[in-house]
């Protein structure tokens, strides 16, 4: 949930191993996962945190015409399969209308073709979505009306079935208190689903499920809190989780302003998905370059930011030949 009167706009689940090199920065991280605290070295590889913008940004936006997707909102999502980039995005005309789901494809991740049958889903309010493919099923986790998270599935990326609002419970099994729980971001590993969600963008909580039915908090306190850093002192929410060199990296948006008029992209790192350390050089993107999604193009990482338009940024670790 990132309401922004400036017209605001996940994942290739990446598990990519590479060797540490001279471009990697490190800091000390204290893990309290057991009674014997241990100090690990946390890497922040340059390819995950340093990006340069594409010269032809933005690469995708609302039509600006009298269409269902005259405007677009955060968070859209990009999934690369084979040589094709697949993007889902939320389109709308006015803020008080139900938000619909669009689909576009690209051969290079720069030039996009809207699906001729758009919108592909308009049966219920769907925005701020991310997509995970497990076996042959695409799972979409999205915000619905009143910022209540819901789950959809598809076998072809285009036709979606809505399974209704997600049921989240406290550690003791009691339901969450009434109110929004949005920006759902999911990580799947070892037959367990991990759900990161926010409540009014005031913190990030973590729940798990084995069957996608009931989700139970691992702890009732937020796993990532606002502040004390300035850049996320008034709100934050996770957009994507990746695993890299044995560490989990969360790409999340945060805001330093009380009216939520400007958002940034930030990074946090964890060994266990529960205890997180924020990158000391956050934010990695500012000026509403938020809702960041990391995609590997086969040679390098690209960071797509999706606010009220889509922009792409290239990892500085490999010289970009596409500018």
- 3-state DSSP helix/strand/coil percent for the chain, to nearest 5? 5, 50, 45
Six-digit token string for 56: 């032809």
Dihedral of the alpha carbons of 289, 292, 296, 297, in degrees to the nearest 10: -40
Task: Provide block-wise average pLDDT over 10 residues at a time, the chain (323 residues).
Answer: 45 40 41 35 90 96 94 94 97 82 97 98 93 97 94 98 97 95 97 97 97 97 96 97 97 96 96 97 94 94 94 78 44
Q: What was the pLDDT predicted at 284?
A: 97
Instruction: Give the pLDDT score at 317.
Output: 64
Phi, psi for residue 163 in degrees, rounded to 5: -95, 10
- Residues in CB range of 54: below 8 A, 6 or more apart: 110, 311, 312, 313, 314, 320, 322, 323
Which helix (H) or strand (E) covers residue 247, if one does? strand 247-255
User: 15 Cβ partners below 8 Å, 6+ apart?
Assistant: 242, 243, 244
DSSP 147-195: GBEEEEEESSSSS-EEEEE-EEE-TTSPBPPSS-BEEEEEEEETTEEEE
In 3D space, the residue among 312, 201, 188, 177 whose CA is nearest the CA of residue 260 turns out to be 201
* Angstrom distance (rounded) from CA 9 to CA 3: 9
Alpha-carbon distance of 91 to 115, in angstroms, equals 13
Q: Which residue has the tokens 């992209």?
A: 265
Domains annotated for the chain, with CATH where assigned, are 15-315 (2.115.10.20)
pLDDT value of position 3: 54
């Amino acid at each position: 949930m990132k309401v922004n009167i400036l017209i605001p706009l996940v994942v290739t689940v990446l598990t990519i191993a590479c060797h540490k090199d001279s471009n990697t920065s490190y800091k000390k991280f204290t893990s309290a996962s057991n009674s014997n605290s241990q100090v690990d070295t946390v890497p922040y590889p340059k390819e995950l945190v340093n990006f340069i913008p594409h010269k032809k940004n933005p690469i995708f936006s609302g039509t600006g015409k009298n269409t269902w997707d005259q405007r677009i909102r955060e968070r859209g999502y990009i999934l690369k399969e084979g040589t094709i980039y697949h993007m889902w995005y939320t389109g709308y005309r006015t803020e008080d209308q139900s938000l619909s789901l669009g689909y576009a494809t690209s051969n290079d991740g720069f030039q996009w073709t809207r699906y001729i049958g758009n919108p592909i889903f308009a049966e219920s309010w769907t925005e701020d979505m991310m997509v995970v493919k497990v076996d042959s099923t695409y799972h979409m986790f999205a915000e619905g009306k009143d910022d209540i998270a819901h789950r959809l599935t598809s076998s072809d990326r285009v036709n979606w079935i809505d399974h209704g609002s997600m049921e989240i419970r406290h550690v003791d099994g009691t339901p969450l208190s009434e109110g929004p729980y949005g920006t759902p971001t999911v990580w799947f590993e070892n037959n367990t689903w991990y759900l990161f969600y926010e409540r009014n963008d005031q913190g990030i909580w973590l729940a798990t499920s084995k069957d996608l039915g009931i989700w139970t908090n691992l702890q009732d306190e937020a796993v990532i809190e606002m502040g004390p850093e300035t850049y996320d002192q008034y709100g934050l929410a996770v957009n994507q989780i990746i695993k890299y060199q044995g560490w989990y990296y969360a790409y999340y948006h945060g805001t330093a302003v009380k009216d939520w008029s400007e958002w940034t992209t930030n990074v946090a790192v964890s060994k266990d998905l529960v205890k997180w350390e924020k990158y000391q050089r956050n934010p990695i993107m500012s000026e509403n370059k938020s809702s960041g999604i990391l995609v590997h193009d086969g040679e390098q990482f690209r960071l797509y930011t999706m606010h009220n338009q889509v922009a792409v940024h290239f990892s500085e670790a490999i010289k970009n030949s596409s500018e």
